[in-house]
Amino acid sequence: MTKPKVAFVCVHNSCRSQMAEAISRLIASNEYEAYSAGTETKPQINQDAVAVIMELYGVDMNETQRSKLISEIPKVDIVITMGCNVDCPFLPCKYREDWGLDDPTGKDKAEFINTAKTIEEKIFSLKERIKGIMEQ
């Protein structure tokens, strides 16, 4: 069986969704393929997020990822919205959930660390639930 494809989506695809893609690829790549995307892009990933992911996980998102549109990723099985609250991007999928994360952009480093750790916890949960989700 092929691994399910999971998309982490947010409007700008520059911070939370990018963090989720990086952390997923690190700790859940055996369970699913991770992508991130949005309905708009930014010229670069949020550099505060890049610094925190590098510090906590040793991953340089400037080297491994870029801001991309939902039209640039393959068809996915699962969509995780990050908590856009306004116009969260829509992608067809088998299963969808919203993680309701506040955007740490413009806040201090502690907020970025908290966001990364919350994403990590949610990824561990998703990793445990993914087989059941796909069997629904």
Q: Could you report the per-residue pLDDT of 45-57, keeping only the tens digit for each?
A: 999 999 999 999 9
What confidence score (pLDDT) does residue 1 get?
A: 62
**What does the longest C-alpha to C-alpha distance in the chain come to?**
43
* Domains within the chain, CATH numbers bracketed: 5-131 (3.40.50.2300)
CA distance linking residue 2 with residue 135, whole number of Å? 13
Structure tokens at 93: 């999928």
Q: What is the pTM of this model?
A: 0.95
CA distance linking residue 105 with residue 117, whole number of Å? 16
Average pLDDT by stretches of 10, the chain with 136 residues: 91 95 97 95 96 98 96 96 73 92 96 98 96 89
Report in angstroms the alpha-carbon separations of 46 from 17, 33, 36, 50: 11, 22, 14, 6
